[in-house]
Amino acid sequence: MSDVEAQTAFCKIRWFETDGAPVCPHCGGLDAYLNPRPNGSTRYRCKACTKDFTVTSGTLFASHKRPLRDYLAAIAIFCNEVKGKSALALSRDLGLAYKSAFVLLHKLREAMAEELKGRVIGGEDKVAEVDGGYFGGYVKPANHVENRRDRRLWANQSGKRQVVVIVRERDGNSVPAVFRTEGAAQSWIKSRIAPGTVVNADEAGSWNDLHSKFEMKRINHQEAYSADGACTNMAEEYFSRLRRAEIGHHHHIAGTYLLRYAQEASWREDNRRVTNGEQVRTVAQLAMKRGPSVDFSGYWQRHVKSA
Ligand SMILES: [Zn+2]
């Protein structure tokens, strides 16, 4: 794909209402003329407010340094890898520095997160599943038996362990969040599942509090995986995707960016039956819809804020 083709493709995604004709992000003006940068790259000037803008101004790809076709290629590669793409693999594929690939992939995760923002699942006659999975904070066992400590005790843990909690509508969409404990997730869960939903959860005491708001079905995994219609298989499918991503590609998904990996896995689960071409379009649209990166606005590594 040439630079011109990539430019046209991005214009059509960003300004789909005008079939790719530029719309001023400053004043909404529809009348703009070409005012190329000295290096020849496409830039517009608005006739109404005389300000300059490009197709990526005010989007997730604002002040990008790579040619636009690299971003389209990255989105295509990212969507093609069902289990997720590692920054190292992407840097090899596109000839990018590792850090650039890392930042780019996290921007695409931010784009996916845009779709999950404020999402509430379930409703009357709908069924939802809730589950939690712990990530990070691995404490290496001591070599000699006499030095070993009980790693299950809170005092002997690294303090870095976090839990991803997923709420997932059966045959519907999902939304994840990250907490220190399952118990800390209760009010978030209540805000993300619509009243009237029947909620399925396992036997863990952390979920007992949900009985106050929802009709609950509990499954004891020590006895059966599905009994009396109660099961959390879809929530578990989500976690198996997230674990595969952890093992296969990223190795260390815990820490600052755990929420982003959790959101990526959620988006991929929800869109698993959507064609590849449609996924690429959607991610590109989300990236153009989302403002400049909150995780990486301008430079290297800031803190991730929840969606
Ligand atoms: Zn304007």
pLDDT of 230 reads: 82
CA of 50 to the centre of ligand 1 (A): 6
Q: Calculate how far, in angstroms, residue 295's C-alpha sits from the geometric centre of ligand 1.
A: 28
Is residue 287 over pLDDT 60?
Answer: yes
pLDDT at 190 (0 to 100): 97
31 Cα to the center of ligand 1, angstroms: 8
CA 38/CA 188 separation, integer angstroms: 50
pLDDT tens-place string over residues 18-58: 999 999 999 999 999 999 989 888 999 999 999 999 999 98
Residue 131's pLDDT band, with cuts at 50, 70 and 90, is: very high
Q: What is the whole-number distance in angstroms between the Cα of residue 51 and the centre of ligand 1?
A: 6
Please state which of the ranges 98-102, 267-271, 292-296 shows the lowest mean pLDDT.
292-296
Indicate whether 138 pLDDT > 80.
Answer: no
From ligand 1's centre to the CA of 11, what distance in Å? 17
d(CA 256, CA 29): 40
Chain segment 156-180, per-residue pLDDT in tens:
466 678 999 999 999 999 999 999 9
**pLDDT of 301 strictly over 60:** no
Say how many Å lie between the CA of residue 55 and the centre of ligand 1.
13
Q: The tokens 């004709």 sit on which residue?
A: 21
pTM value is: 0.85
Q: Report whether pLDDT(192) > 70.
A: yes
Q: How far apart are the CA of 75 and the centre of ligand 1, in A? A: 29
The pLDDT of residue 306: 47
98 CB neighbour count, 10 Å cutoff = 13
Residue 147 has pLDDT above 90, yes or no: no
Task: Please state the separation of Cα 132 from the chain's center in Å.
Answer: 17
Is a pLDDT exceeding 90 seen at residue 142?
A: no
pLDDT the model gives residue 148: 56
Measure CA 265 to chain center.
7
Distance 223 CA to ligand 1 centre (A): 65
Provide the token pair at 287.
């990236």
Of 100 and 137, which is predicted with more confidence? 100
User: Could you tell me the two tokens for 90?
Assistant: 């992407």
Specify the amino acid at residue 197.
T
Asked if 165 contacts 182 with a C-beta cutoff of 8 angstroms, the reply is: yes
d(C-alpha 47, C-alpha 23), whole Å: 11
List b or e across 159-180, with b for residues whose CB sees 16 or more CB atoms inside 10 angstroms: eebbbbbbbbbbeebbbbbbbe
Q: Which is more confident, 81 or 275? A: 275
- DSSP code at position 23: -
| Rounded distance from Cα 21 to ligand 1 centre (Å) | 14
CA dihedral 110, 116, 118, 124 (to 10 degrees): -170
Which parts of 118-269 are beta strand (E)? 127-135, 162-169, 174-179, 198-202, 215-219
Q: What is the mean pLDDT of residues 52-80?
A: 88
Distances (CA, A) of 76 to 55, 73, 81, 248, 266: 19, 5, 9, 19, 18
State percent of the chain over pLDDT 70.
84
Question: 22: Cβ–Cβ under 8 A, 6 or more apart, which residues?
Answer: 11, 15, 32, 44, 53, 55
Please state the rounded mean pLDDT for residues 245-268: 83
Q: How confident is the model at residue 252 (pLDDT cuts 50, 70, 90)?
A: confident
Confidence of residue 299 (pLDDT cuts 50, 70, 90): very low
- What confidence tier does 222 reach under pLDDT thresholds 50, 70, 90? low
The rounded mean pLDDT for the chain is 86
Query: What's the CA-to-centroid distance between 53 and ligand 1, angstroms?
Result: 9
Ligand 1 mean position to 52 CA, how many Å? Answer: 8
Q: How far is the CA of 26 from the centre of ligand 1 (A)?
A: 5
List the one residue out of 223, 216, 185, 190 whose CA is nearest residue 201: 216
The kind and range of the H/E element at 46 are: strand 44-46
On the question of pLDDT at 99 being above 50, the answer is: yes
Strand ranges across the sheet with 32-34: 32-34, 44-46, 52-53
Highest averaged pLDDT of the listed ranges 240-249, 251-260, 265-274: 265-274
